[in-house]
């Protein structure tokens, strides 16, 4: 299998390859419970969860915060030195969430 070395952005510029790095938290989520990661020290993070979630920067997340679909794993930009908080979308089954810094 060949190794991927780069990808391009919308305008054709080459982007560096990223991969999950240091774990910043893993937790089982249930309805109404919130999980807050450790402080993110990089400029991006990887998040995976088996259910749809609400996500917010900081120590508080509500049903009004952005809902996302991390079931396939997604990479998101981060503000260095901040925490990420998540909670299940209403009606979702309990699931585990993983948050990793990106390297």
DSSP, residue by residue, 39-60 = PB-SSEEEEEESS-EEEEESS-
**Each residue's pLDDT tens digit, 4-14:** 444 556 676 66
Q: What is the CATH number of domain 20-102?
A: 2.60.120
Give, for 98, the enclosing helix (H) or strand (E). strand 95-102
pLDDT interval class at 2 (50, 70, 90): very low
Q: Which of 18-22, 43-47, 85-89 has the highest mean pLDDT?
A: 85-89
68 has a pLDDT exceeding 90 = yes
Enumerate the domain spans of the chain: 20-102
């Amino acid at each position: 299998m060949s190794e991927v070395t780069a990808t391009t952005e919308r305008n054709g510029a080459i982007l560096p390859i990223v991969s999950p790095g240091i774990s910043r938290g893993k937790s089982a989520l249930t309805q109404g419970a919130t999980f807050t990661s450790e402080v993110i020290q990089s400029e991006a993070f990887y998040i995976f969860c088996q259910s749809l979630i609400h996500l917010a920067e900081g120590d508080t997340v509500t049903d009004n915060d952005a809902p996302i679909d991390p079931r396939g794993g997604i990479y998101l930009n981060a503000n260095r030195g901040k925490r990420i908080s998540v909670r299940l979308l209403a009606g979702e089954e309990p699931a585990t969430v993983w948050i990793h810094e990106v390297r």
